[in-house]
């Protein structure tokens, strides 16, 4: 269970402060899948960065199992990210000098959580097992994004954060990759927060929030 309470975040640009998030509240139940939509610049990535402990809020808290991760020391933040978080970026962010297989093993090895049969199964489910000895640049966009999904799940994180994971894909691949992401998070019992511009994709989540005027509003999927 993750509980975000009264979270606020502003950025300073010279002398000027811009508030991006103000008094944001959100509860993510175990295994829950949450979609966040919102205009460009509304603060979606900022919220994901805070959830990933990559940045600190100005005020408010993010409690994970009753622990406020915003108060973690740098060492605790690192450990939390390595163990508990998997991130899928819009632009894949694969390590180009490592093969597909090495890219996927990397977070699991870093976390001393290397489970080869599990990783091979993950690749099979994503339909990229046959590409595992290739370099990422030899794959199509859709294939690279599937590798990125495998990498995000490789260390069995409890929270997967996906920031417009299908933003660089065509409609057909976008649907396929999103389906796989939802399906895998469900079968691995991970919580998922997915940022998307697609209303269709947002409807696949358990809850859909829209970020505007610095805060989240629950949308009804009708």
Please report, as ranges, the residues that interact with Mg ion according to CB under 5 A.
45
CB contact at 8 A, 9 and 21? yes
Choice between 45 and 174, CB closer to Mg ion = 45
Tell the smallest beta-carbon distance from residue 11 to ligand ATP (Å). Answer: 3
Q: Is 40 in the site for ligand ATP (CB under 6 A)?
A: yes
Out of 25, 29, 41, 124, the residue judged to bind ligand ATP by CB under 6 A: 41
CA 123 to chain centroid, in Å, comes to 19
Which three-class secondary structure state does DSSP give residue 21? strand
Q: How far apart are CA 167 and CA 159, in angstroms?
A: 20
The site string for ligand ATP over 126-165 (x = CB under 6 A, - otherwise) reads ----------------------------------------
Alpha-carbon distance of 165 to 145, in angstroms, equals 7
Q: Assess contact for 130 and 98: CB atoms under 8 A.
A: no
Q: Which of 41, 31, 67, 42 lies closest to 186 in space, CA to CA? A: 31
57 near ligand ATP (CB under 6 A): no
By a kind-dependent CB cut-off of 5 to 8 A, residue 198 interacts, out of ligand ATP, Mg ion, none, with: none
> For residues 33 and 45, which CB has a smaller minimum distance to Mg ion in the complex?
45
């Amino acid at each position: 269970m993750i509980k975000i309470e009264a979270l606020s975040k502003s950025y300073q640009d010279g002398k000027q402060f811009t508030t991006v998030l103000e008094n944001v509240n959100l509860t993510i139940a175990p295994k829950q899948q949450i979609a966040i939509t919102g205009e460009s610049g509304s603060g979606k990535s900022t919220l994901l960065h805070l959830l990933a402990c990559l940045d600190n809020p100005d005020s408010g808290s993010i409690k994970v199992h009753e622990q406020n991760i915003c108060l973690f020391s740098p060492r605790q933040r690192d450990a939390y990210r390595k163990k508990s978080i998997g991130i899928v970026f819009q632009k894949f962010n694969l390590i180009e000098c490592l093969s597909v297989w090495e890219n996927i093993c990397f977070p699991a090895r870093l976390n001393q959580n290397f489970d080869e049969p599990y990783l091979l199964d993950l690749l099979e489910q994503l339909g990229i097992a046959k590409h595992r000895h290739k370099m990422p640049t030899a794959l199509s966009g859709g294939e690279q994004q599937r590798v990125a999904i495998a990498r995000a799940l490789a260390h069995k994180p409890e929270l997967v954060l996906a920031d417009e994971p299908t933003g660089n894909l065509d409609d057909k691949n976008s649907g396929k990759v999103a389906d796989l992401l939802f399906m895998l998070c469900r079968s691995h019992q991970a919580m998922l927060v997915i940022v998307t511009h697609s209303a269709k994709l947002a409807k696949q989540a358990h809850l859909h929030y829209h970020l505007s005027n610095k805060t989240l509003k629950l949308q009804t999927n009708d």
